[in-house]
Amino acid sequence: MSHVIWYPGHERLQDPIVRAENCSLYDAKGKRYIDLESGVWCTSVGHAHPKVLEVMTEQAGRLAHTGFSYSSDVVEKAAEEILPLHGFEGGGCTFLCSGSEAVEYGVRVARELSERPLFITMADSYFGAYGSACSREADAWLPFDWSGCESCPYEGPCGSSCDRWRDIPFEKIGGFLFEPGSSSGFVRFPPKKFIECLAGAVQENGGFVLVNEVTTGIGRTGKWFGYQHYDITPDIVAMGKGIGNGYPVSIAAVSPRVTKILGGNPIAYSQSHQNDPLGAAIAREVARIIHDDNLIERSDELSRVLIQGLHDIKERTAGIKEIRARGLMVAMDLVDHSDGELTTDVHRTLRQKGFLVGRRPGTSTLRLDPSLTIDEEDLRGFLSTFEECLEQG
């Protein structure tokens, strides 16, 4: 692939893939690999899902793309099915192309409606490749380091008794952008109490709560969305990756509260593939498959197999330092030297033995994000192979 500009930072270990089915990938020699990363969180219901392919073919044959001056009923119908997943009946959404774009769209909506200059977010969050949420200018964003909040000894709600809480200038904050678990690929979950108190305080002061569900949504964490592990009610939600099952579609959904304030005047944002019927049809079908096949419940059951298996390996070997997991969103820090040699060797050996996992570049962190449709047998096969790799390392 000498003519392809490769993604920087990640080592390309794999020969070209020529075919995929569910969680199985095949190279030109017919060798099978188990994709335990869902193509980087994307194939929520597995590669080449027959129902997604059927809808894709049927919709593309009828109408794939529309312009600014006309649309299709399928976009409205898709919105009607997506919005209730958040309790946003009476709200609205726009279909876009990438998670970065959905996050940026949500931020622009909130800034349009807010009179306050600052948006607060967790310091270790990742929100996309461009836009305000990516650049995080100091006069527009307040990054909060929540690491000390994990060990907070105080049992009551966050408040003025905490020095760090008192330092938050709520009078200047118009929004809270929350990523419930990815933490730039490290998979860390901010404390429930702090997030609930922060979201409540922002909304009580007239601000907006935005949630980035690009990596944590669509069943990834054992619930439809990562924010549902917290008792919060968002105003704006960005969805991507898994909602398209590999097709580049994303969604920015806004609550009835937001649509009421907008008053029928959407923000000035447009691009050529906004609200295309093909992407909308695919997103609707993916949501239907997850619902009809009870994949949220299934993923919760499979996560117990995977997480318990990893903890058992941690007890039996000296290779795992820490496991962080919620549903089928899992990260493992290996016991490694500063040069990451063990992690590199394990990562490569797993690939050689037919298991593709994610690695956070330059760290000792390996990540597992299998599709909700993965076979339990493949998870158990990985666990056995992973333990062998650690013992040999």
**29-86 per-position pLDDT tens digit:** 999 999 999 999 999 999 999 999 999 999 999 999 998 888 899 999 999 999 999 9
What is the percent of the chain where pLDDT is above 70? 97
Q: Six-digit token pair at 283? A: 């997103």
pLDDT at 338 over 80: no
> pLDDT value at position 155?
78
- The SS3 assignment for 46 reads coil
Q: Output DSSP code: residue 7.
A: P
Please count the other Cβ atoms lying within 10 Å of the Cβ belonging to residue 164: 14
Report d(CA 121, CA 114) in Å as an integer: 16
**275-320 per-position pLDDT tens digit:** 999 999 999 999 999 999 999 999 999 999 999 999 999 999 999 9
Please count the other Cβ atoms lying within 10 Å of the Cβ belonging to residue 282: 26
Contact 20, 26 (CB under 8 A): yes
Report d(CA 223, CA 325) in Å as an integer: 13
pLDDT at 1 over 80: no
Measured in residues, the chain has a length of: 393
Dump strand ranges (E) for the chain: 17-21, 24-27, 32-35, 92-96, 118-122, 141-144, 173-178, 208-212, 236-239, 250-254, 320-326, 329-334, 355-356, 358-359, 365-368
Class of residue 287 by CB neighbours under 10 A (exposed 0-12, middle 13-18, buried 19+): buried
Q: Which residues make Cβ contacts (< 8 Å) with residue 147, sequence separation at least 6?
A: none
> pLDDT value at position 101?
96
Position 4 confidence tier, pLDDT thresholds 50, 70, 90: confident
Residue indicated by tokens 């990834």:
220
**93-133 per-position pLDDT tens digit:** 999 999 999 999 999 999 999 989 899 999 888 777 777 76
Between 291 and 161, the higher pLDDT residue: 291
